[in-house]
Structure formats: structure tokens, C-alpha cells
Amino acid sequence: MSDREALRLDFLKSAGLSEAARAPLPGDASTRRYERLTTTSGQTLMLMDQAPSAESPPCDPSWTPEQRKAAGWNATARLSAGRIEAFTAVAEHLRHAGLSTPEVIAVDAPNGLAVIEDFGDDLFARVIADGEPQTPLYLAAVDAVARIHMAALQPPVMQGPGGDWPLLTYDVTALQGGADLFVEWWPKFRPQVDFGQGALDEWAEAWAPIAAMGEAKAWTIAHRDYHAENLIWLPDRTHHRRVGLIDFQDAVLAHPVWDLHSLLQDARRDVPPELEAVCFDHYCDVALVDREQYRADYAALAALNEARILGVFARLITRDGKPRYAQFMPRMWAHLDRNLQRPGLERVAAWFARHVPVEARL
């Protein structure tokens, strides 16, 4: 028996769940793993397992950009490193705002273990594939995002059963660092591309005003991975609470459009342009915001995020040996190309036209 398994068994015993049947769930791109627990009474729960040693450290709020970069990717991008205390604190904060997050049943944050409520398997992507009309689900997801944004001001520190967790700003260092994944990893995925120092300087200059805008307008909590495979349909609940939220441990203060473009320009599934437009307009109506300004910001930050995701996929393929992520790249290039047609993104569009020819994109 591994040391990690021994920790899991001790934790389940302390939670009164030593007799529960355990069924591992398929993994994803993270270092986190889940098991579905079935108690002797037939209740199901989820065991969340995130070994703290599996990731580089998260960002200390006091660190400078240089210290963050030296500490590794999690600190640079202000990712939580999967910390259980981050998950439980964000869950508690969002629940107080009226959202549906899993109840935390038991937690051992120092060892990276938690037992949480089981929302079931009805991921948005799955129930839509099974024939559920997608418009009501997407409008409910937009309502849930608007609910977050219209809640009280976000606290500098969130409190939860696993401990406190800082709510950090998705700042220039994190935003530019995300975009930079593209220029770091795309040449390793497509060796015919070679970005010299001049191209790298142009890249940084083109994204600088967009990253600055993203930081300047970061005033609300963002889930940061808000898409159809992280949302669970809970039809027995009402209004925005029908949207079950998971995988939100990387939440930060960000521009309100961040979760909108994650939802509506999904890397893993096609959202029809007409549905994207309906949902965007619905958000603007509910949140009472300047539609044209939000549309411009939405395109700019979506483009930055798509460059980031293309870099992440290139890294998963070349470094981690996960070729299945190549299937998502054409969709992300299509989103990126469409966003780069918006006014204000001419310098970024020109950079891609000069340095990444069409034949080097797929």
C-alpha cells in the first residue's frame, strides 16, 4: 500500500466513511483525482485528492513578479496548485452568494483531501449531447455568472472549512504570462516556427495594453474555468441554482467577461454563434453594463485566453504526451481568428499574420 493510499484510508476512517465503496473517476489534465464514494446507506459522495507535493507552490500575496516567476508557473499565473483550502474557501464564498457549490462534508487540507457533496454526472456537455435543449442551460449559466458579479464586494481573504484563502487579482503578470505560453510552446509543437527576439518583443508589446486593461477592470470573482464540462445541471433546483459549479479552486479577481468567454468560446465544444450572441446580450441586460465596451473587452481577453490555451495544449502534447488535445486546436484557432477581427486588436492580428503562417497553425 502506498503512503498516499494510507492517508486516504485514515482520512475516510476519521470521516466515518471507512465502509464506503470507492470508484475512481477518469482523470483530466490536472494532478487532482476523484473517487465516487457510496455509503452503506446508498448515499454517494466525492473524495477529492490533491497531494500538495504534486504541484509547484501557489502565489504568496506578498511576492513580486520576479519572485512569482522564480517560484514556478502556479505562482506566476496565480493558480491555486489545486489546494484543498482554496476549493473549500471559494465554495463557501460562492454558496453565500447564492450559487450551487458542493457542500464540504469532511476536509484535511494539509494532506490535500476532502469529501464533498456529489452533484452527479449530468455535466452540461453530457446532457446536451443526450438531447437536452442547450439554450436554457446556457442562459442559466449566464444568470449564475451575473449573480456572482452582482453580489457583494469580494473579500481579500475567503474563509472556508479548510482554512483561509486569498482572493488575488488576475494581474498583468498572470495575464501576460498566460499569453506567453504560446510563444514558449508553439515552436516545440510546430518546429518550423521560430520566434526570434524581435518577434518576442513585438508579441509582448502587442498584448501589453490588453493585459493592462484586464488588470485595471478586475473587480469581481471569476471561476476561471467556466465551461460545459465544469457545470452540472441540477434541474430540481431553481433559477441560477440549477447550475452546479465545480473546479473553481483557481478563482481570482478578474474582468467580468472572463467567465463569459470561457463559457461561450469553449475549447471543447462548439457553441453556435447565434447562441453566443443571445447569451452575451442576456448578460448585458441582466448586469446592466455598457454593451459595446464589454463586447470589445470580451474579444480582447478571449483572444488572449485562446493564445494561452493553444500554448497549454501544445505543452500537453509535446511535454506530457497527451496528443488528444490536438483535436481542440482548430476550434481555438477559429475563435482566435474571429476575435482578432475586432477593432483594437490589429497589432496582435498582424503579429500572427507575420509569424505564424496558416500551415503552421494546425
Give the pLDDT of residue 76. 97
Mean pLDDT for all residues in the chain: 95
Give the pLDDT of residue 304. 98
Give the pLDDT of residue 28. 64
Give the pLDDT of residue 53. 86
Residue 148: pLDDT band with limits 50, 70, 90: confident
User: Residue 252's beta-bridge partner residues?
Assistant: 222
Least confident of 100-114, 151-165, 241-255, 327-341: 151-165
Taking residues 242-252, what's their average pLDDT? Answer: 96
CA distance 132 to 124: 9
Model confidence at 152: pLDDT above 90 = no
Cell of 293: 465596451
Query: For 33-42, which contacts have Cβ atoms below 8 Å and span 24 or more sequence positions?
Result: 36/118, 37/12, 37/115, 37/118
CA distance 305 to 205: 17
CA 303 to chain centre: 15
DSSP string, 280-312: HHHHHHHHT--HHHHHHHHHHHHHHHHHHHHHH
Three-state DSSP class for residue 341: coil
Do the Cβ atoms of 279 and 243 come closer than 8 Å? no
Model confidence at 217: pLDDT above 70 = yes
CA distance 262 to 226: 6
Q: Go through the chain and tell me how many residues it has.
A: 362
Taking residues 47-53, what's their average pLDDT? Answer: 93
Closest C-alpha among 59, 86, 53, 54 to residue 74: 59
Distances (CA, A) of 247 to 30, 133, 351: 10, 24, 34
Taking residues 275-300, what's their average pLDDT? Answer: 96
Element housing 358 (H / E)? none
Rounded to the nearest 10°, the torsion over CA 295, 145, 56, 51 is -160
Taking residues 98-123, what's their average pLDDT? Answer: 96
